[in-house]
Protein backbone atom coordinates (compact mmCIF):
# COMPACT_ATOMS: atom_id res chain seq x y z
CA UNK A 1 0.00 0.00 0.00
CA UNK A 2 1.34 3.42 -0.91
CA UNK A 3 1.84 6.16 1.63
CA UNK A 4 -0.96 8.59 2.32
CA UNK A 5 -0.18 12.05 0.92
CA UNK A 6 -1.88 15.23 2.08
CA UNK A 7 -2.83 18.60 0.68
CA UNK A 8 -3.47 21.61 2.92
CA UNK A 9 -6.19 24.16 2.31
CA UNK A 10 -4.98 27.00 0.06
CA UNK A 11 -7.26 29.49 1.82
CA UNK A 12 -8.90 30.16 5.16
CA UNK A 13 -12.52 29.09 4.97
CA UNK A 14 -14.80 26.08 4.79
CA UNK A 15 -13.57 23.02 2.93
CA UNK A 16 -16.23 20.99 1.16
CA UNK A 17 -16.60 18.77 -1.90
CA UNK A 18 -16.52 20.01 -5.48
CA UNK A 19 -20.23 19.18 -5.67
CA UNK A 20 -20.94 22.49 -3.89
CA UNK A 21 -19.30 24.62 -6.61
CA UNK A 22 -22.05 26.36 -8.63
CA UNK A 23 -20.42 25.49 -11.97
CA UNK A 24 -20.83 22.11 -13.66
CA UNK A 25 -17.27 22.11 -15.04
CA UNK A 26 -16.16 21.69 -11.42
CA UNK A 27 -19.14 19.96 -9.79
CA UNK A 28 -19.27 17.30 -12.51
CA UNK A 29 -15.49 16.75 -12.15
CA UNK A 30 -14.81 17.48 -15.83
CA UNK A 31 -11.33 18.87 -15.08
CA UNK A 32 -10.58 16.59 -12.15
CA UNK A 33 -11.62 15.89 -8.58
CA UNK A 34 -10.61 17.40 -5.27
CA UNK A 35 -12.06 19.96 -2.90
CA UNK A 36 -13.79 23.29 -2.83
CA UNK A 37 -12.99 26.06 -0.37
CA UNK A 38 -15.52 28.75 0.47
CA UNK A 39 -12.88 31.34 1.37
CA UNK A 40 -12.92 33.90 4.17
CA UNK A 41 -9.59 35.60 3.41
CA UNK A 42 -7.92 37.05 0.33
CA UNK A 43 -4.63 35.13 0.60
CA UNK A 44 -3.97 32.02 -1.49
CA UNK A 45 -1.19 29.61 -0.50
CA UNK A 46 0.24 26.52 -2.12
CA UNK A 47 -1.51 23.34 -0.91
CA UNK A 48 1.59 21.19 -1.57
CA UNK A 49 5.35 21.20 -2.05
CA UNK A 50 5.97 21.44 -5.76
CA UNK A 51 6.50 23.70 -8.76
CA UNK A 52 4.29 26.32 -10.37
CA UNK A 53 3.68 25.00 -13.91
CA UNK A 54 1.04 27.44 -15.13
CA UNK A 55 -0.59 30.72 -14.08
CA UNK A 56 -3.67 32.18 -15.75
CA UNK A 57 -2.92 35.54 -17.36
CA UNK A 58 -5.75 36.94 -15.26
CA UNK A 59 -4.23 35.63 -12.00
CA UNK A 60 -7.38 33.73 -10.98
CA UNK A 61 -5.93 30.24 -11.47
CA UNK A 62 -2.68 28.40 -10.77
CA UNK A 63 -1.39 24.95 -11.71
CA UNK A 64 1.12 23.27 -9.43
CA UNK A 65 2.90 19.97 -9.98
CA UNK A 66 3.52 18.45 -6.57
CA UNK A 67 6.81 16.79 -5.73
CA UNK A 68 5.00 13.42 -6.03
CA UNK A 69 3.82 14.20 -9.59
CA UNK A 70 0.21 15.15 -8.87
CA UNK A 71 -1.01 18.11 -10.94
CA UNK A 72 -3.25 20.51 -9.04
CA UNK A 73 -5.42 23.29 -10.42
CA UNK A 74 -6.39 26.08 -8.01
CA UNK A 75 -9.21 28.11 -9.54
CA UNK A 76 -10.45 31.06 -7.46
CA UNK A 77 -14.11 31.93 -7.89
CA UNK A 78 -16.64 30.91 -10.53
CA UNK A 79 -16.50 32.65 -13.96
CA UNK A 80 -13.88 35.03 -12.50
CA UNK A 81 -11.95 34.94 -15.78
CA UNK A 82 -14.57 37.53 -16.83
CA UNK A 83 -12.99 40.00 -14.37
CA UNK A 84 -9.93 40.06 -16.69
CA UNK A 85 -7.50 40.02 -13.76
CA UNK A 86 -9.20 42.74 -11.73
CA UNK A 87 -8.88 41.88 -8.02
CA UNK A 88 -6.25 39.16 -8.52
CA UNK A 89 -2.52 39.34 -7.81
CA UNK A 90 -0.12 36.52 -8.65
CA UNK A 91 2.98 36.46 -6.45
CA UNK A 92 4.81 33.58 -8.17
CA UNK A 93 6.31 32.76 -11.56
CA UNK A 94 6.11 29.64 -13.73
CA UNK A 95 8.98 27.33 -12.80
CA UNK A 96 9.12 28.60 -9.21
CA UNK A 97 9.46 26.01 -6.44
CA UNK A 98 6.90 26.40 -3.65
CA UNK A 99 6.29 24.72 -0.33
CA UNK A 100 2.90 24.00 1.21
CA UNK A 101 1.77 27.21 2.89
CA UNK A 102 3.80 29.59 0.68
CA UNK A 103 1.79 32.64 -0.41
CA UNK A 104 1.21 32.39 -4.18
CA UNK A 105 -1.42 35.09 -4.75
CA UNK A 106 -4.32 37.14 -3.50
CA UNK A 107 -7.94 37.57 -4.55
CA UNK A 108 -10.15 40.50 -3.52
CA UNK A 109 -13.13 38.46 -2.31
CA UNK A 110 -15.30 41.52 -1.62
CA UNK A 111 -14.76 42.83 -5.15
CA UNK A 112 -15.50 39.38 -6.61
CA UNK A 113 -18.79 39.23 -4.63
CA UNK A 114 -19.69 42.84 -5.55
CA UNK A 115 -19.38 41.84 -9.21
CA UNK A 116 -21.81 38.97 -8.65
CA UNK A 117 -19.41 36.03 -8.82
CA UNK A 118 -19.35 33.11 -6.36
CA UNK A 119 -16.03 32.99 -4.48
CA UNK A 120 -15.78 29.18 -4.27
CA UNK A 121 -12.21 28.05 -4.96
CA UNK A 122 -11.76 24.74 -6.76
CA UNK A 123 -8.66 22.73 -5.84
CA UNK A 124 -8.58 19.88 -8.33
CA UNK A 125 -6.23 17.02 -9.07
CA UNK A 126 -6.21 17.10 -12.87
CA UNK A 127 -4.28 13.86 -13.42
CA UNK A 128 -6.67 11.61 -11.49
CA UNK A 129 -5.25 8.54 -13.27
CA UNK A 130 -2.40 8.70 -10.72
CA UNK A 131 -4.78 8.60 -7.74
CA UNK A 132 -5.80 5.38 -6.03
CA UNK A 133 -7.86 6.70 -3.09
CA UNK A 134 -8.88 10.19 -2.03
CA UNK A 135 -10.60 11.64 1.04
CA UNK A 136 -11.96 15.16 1.50
CA UNK A 137 -11.58 16.60 5.01
CA UNK A 138 -14.58 18.94 5.24
CA UNK A 139 -14.93 21.76 7.74
CA UNK A 140 -13.24 24.99 8.76
CA UNK A 141 -9.67 25.26 7.57
CA UNK A 142 -6.67 27.48 8.11
CA UNK A 143 -4.66 28.21 4.96
CA UNK A 144 -1.43 26.27 4.77
CA UNK A 145 -2.10 24.39 8.01
CA UNK A 146 -5.32 22.36 7.87
CA UNK A 147 -5.22 19.14 5.85
CA UNK A 148 -8.05 19.45 3.32
CA UNK A 149 -7.44 16.32 1.24
CA UNK A 150 -5.58 13.06 1.67
CA UNK A 151 -4.81 10.65 -1.13
CA UNK A 152 -2.79 7.63 -2.12
CA UNK A 153 -1.06 7.12 -5.43
CA UNK A 154 -1.54 4.08 -7.66
Catalytic residue check, 137:
no
Give the integer Cα–Cα distance in Å for 78 and 80.
5
Contact 64, 51 (CB under 8 A): yes
Beta strands in 29-146 (DSSP E): 33-39, 43-45, 50-55, 61-66, 71-76, 88-90, 97-98, 103-107, 121-125, 131-136, 139-141
When computed from its CA atoms, the radius of gyration of the chain, rounded to whole angstroms, is 14
Contacts of 116 (CB under 8 A, 6+ apart): none
Say whether 122 sits in a helix, a strand or coil.
Answer: strand
Of the candidates 78, 70, 21, 34, the one whose C-alpha atom is nearest the C-alpha of residue 50 is 70
Catalytic residue among 60, 75, 120, 137: 75
Give catalytic residues, as residue numbers: 75
Amino acid sequence: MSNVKTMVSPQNGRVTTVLEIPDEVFSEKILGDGIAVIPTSDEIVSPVDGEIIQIAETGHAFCIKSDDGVEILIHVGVDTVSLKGQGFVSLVKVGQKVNAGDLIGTADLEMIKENGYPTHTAVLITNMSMIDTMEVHSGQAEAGKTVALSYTLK
